[in-house]
Structure 1
Amino acid sequence: MKNVLKQLFANIWFVFVLIRLKIFSKVLGFKYVCRMITLLDERLLVNVLRSFGAKIGENVDIGYGIMFHNCKDFRNLTIGDNCHIGKECFFDLRDRVSIGNGVVISMRTTFLTHIDMTKSELSKYYQAYHAPVVIQDNVYIGAVSTVLSGVEIDANSLIGANSLVNKSCLPNSIYIGVPAKLKKAINFDE
């Protein structure tokens, strides 16, 4: 009986939070929703993201403090099954961020999908650009790493902590550094 009441309360709380966010998104804009998401309990977060358009698989946990930028909903976010997204990760959703199954993303990792120098004189030389970020299945990304637009990290790869991934990565490989460079291939037969 206690578990049933607990689940009922959790469902009522989720509906209350969701209605509040939907109303505030209409009145104050979607940036308000993005700010409020950083404060949400980890148990509510996945369902709220789904409610605003994200495609998220089963058995996904997302740490608190997650931040989103350049979005009017979360349709550009796809996360597969059995994934972990660490605390305080940053997602630029100008373009698509697609995360496969069995992916572990450590805390404070940043995903950038665009570059835009609109207010700078440099915009004359560097046009605005956006491209998706794709993380294939069974990838590990170490803490405080940055993945830039147009990058695809292939399956079964490991990205070392504090790496800058500015080029696509081969499968079954370890990449480390700024910029991230191939350290070694992973041989699963050994």
Structure 2
Amino acid sequence: MKEKNIDNSARIDGELIVDGSCRIGANSILMGKVELGKNVIIANNTVIYGPVKIGSATYIGDNTVIGHPTRKQLKKFITTNEMQDFLVSNGCTIGKESIVRAGCIIYANSQIGDQVEFGHTVMVREQTEIGNSSTIGTNTIIEGFSKIGSNVSVQSAVFIPLFSTVEDNVFLGPNCKLTNDKYVDRKEYELKGPTIKKMASIGANAVIMPDIIVGEGAIVGAGAVVTKNIPPNTIYMGVPAKLFKDVPDDWNKK
């Protein structure tokens, strides 16, 4: 018999560790081992591929997918048609007091910290880490094998490719794009995403080219195309981006 806070239409196909304070909505499917902290809410039509652990007081919105199988898992499943091939992974963890809004997809082998907030329809690919108290805006894509620090503000429709690093207290403006393929798939190249050092700010619609380092506390203006490393505490603007001036002392974050 199901707990009273688990909708009768929800399907539990595996081991569920939960107490009576959690809620699981209509038509949700939980597979493999799923561990929910106290007061977790799983809304309607959500699919969770275990092993997954979700911290206390976290909200998972409608039509989300948590622990989505990786490409490697999917290709193996197509070959074997064995459900366990979906579930062989290092799992996915979402910390306490986080909000994952409707339509988000978080892949297996991802680690999401405490008090992280997602907009709608965010995609986080495998082997991604997101630190505590970060915000990931609506329609953002994080392609995987990347690390996002703590207290990071990622605005809507940002693209972060494979092998990128975004350190603590960074701001990424809406529609800015980080890239990792210097030769746009025209010749062999080891993919290398940018590194955005702590306290840096990237303006709306800026483009950061592969393997670029944006220095600590630097600012990139809206619409800039960054083709060279940017020194700490400087402002770069334009196409290609060039030095405008140093960051004024009273602009520095506390």
TM-score normalised by length of structure 2: 0.54
How many matched pairs? 164
1:149 aligns with 2:181: no
1:14 to 1:27, Cα distance in 2 relative to 1, 3 A:
closer
1:113 aligns with 2:145: no
SS at match of 2:69: helix
- The higher radius of gyration belongs to 2
Describe the superposition over 1:94-119 as per-residue Cα deviations: whole angstroms up to 9, x where unpaired: xx21011100101111111113455x
Query: CA RMSD for the aligned pairs?
Result: 3.3
The one-letter amino acid of 2:177's match is T
User: Matched residues, percent identical?
Assistant: 19
Structure 1: unaligned runs, 5 residues or longer: 30-39
What is the match of residue 149 of structure 2? Answer: 80
SS at match of 1:101: coil
| Structure whose residues are more often strand by fraction | 2
SS at match of 2:74: helix
Residue number among 40, 45, 48 corresponding to 1:15 in the alignment? 48
The one-letter amino acid of 2:160's match is F
SS at match of 1:27: helix
> Comparing both chains, which one has the higher relative contact order based on Cα–Cα distances under 8 Å and sequence gaps of 6 or more?
1
Counterparts of 1:54 and 1:150, CA distance in 2? 18
Matches within 5 A, 1:31-180: 41=101, 49-50=110-111, 52-68=126-142, 74-75=144-145, 77-93=146-162, 96-116=163-183, 123=187, 128=189, 130-180=191-241
The answer as to whether partners of 1:46 and 1:61 remain within 8 angstroms in 2 is no
Counterparts of 1:138 and 1:23, CA distance in 2? 32
SS at match of 1:184: strand
Counterparts of 2:199 and 2:102, CA distance in 1? 22
The one-letter amino acid of 2:197's match is Q
1:113 to 1:47, Cα distance in 2 relative to 1, 3 A:
closer
SS at match of 1:169: coil
1:27 aligns with 2:74: yes
Counterparts of 1:173 and 1:115, CA distance in 2? 24
SS at match of 2:147: strand
TM-score normalised by length of structure 1: 0.71
SS at match of 1:64: coil
Counterparts of 1:102 and 1:160, CA distance in 2? 17
The one-letter amino acid of 2:244's match is K
The one-letter amino acid of 1:186's match is V
